[in-house]
């Protein structure tokens, strides 16, 4: 194979903020393509990072992720509730 060697290709290390930024950018573009809403906001500006230290914390965060969409309809920041 041309260019194949015994050493892996060099990689660039990215911080968490860069990884999250790229994830949000890629997914927002894809979501807006599917919705046919180019440039529409998809994500909140910032993000919350948390180190999960044990199984109890992981279960608490799982519950939050499961239940959070259910609360969106009554959230004061939901665009339809800001009228």
Residue with tokens 């230290």: 53
pLDDT at 75 (0 to 100): 85
User: Minimal CA–CA distance to 39: which of 49, 26, 29?
Assistant: 29
Residue 81 inside a domain? The answer is: yes
Is the domain of 42 the same as that of 65?
Answer: no
Sign of CA dihedral 12, 13, 18, 20: positive
**Structure tokens of 13?**
């290390």
pLDDT in tens, 22-62: 999 999 999 999 999 999 999 988 888 888 999 999 999 99
- Same domain for 55 and 83: yes
Which residue segment(s) compose the domain that 27 sits in? 15-47
The answer to whether residues 68 and 55 belong to one domain is yes
Indicate whether 31 belongs to any domain. yes
Domain tally for the chain?
2
The verdict on 82 and 56 lying in the same domain is yes
- Asked if residue 61 is part of any domain, the answer here is yes
């Amino acid at each position: 194979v041309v260019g194949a060697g015994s050493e892996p290709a060099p990689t660039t290390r990215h911080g968490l903020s860069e990884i999250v930024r790229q994830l949000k950018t890629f997914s927002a573009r894809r979501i807006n393509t599917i919705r046919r809403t180019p440039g529409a906001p998809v994500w909140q500006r910032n993000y919350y990072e948390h180190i999960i230290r044990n199984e109890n914390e992981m279960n608490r965060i799982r519950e939050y992720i499961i239940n959070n969409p259910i609360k969106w309809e009554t959230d004061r920041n939901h665009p339809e509730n800001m009228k």
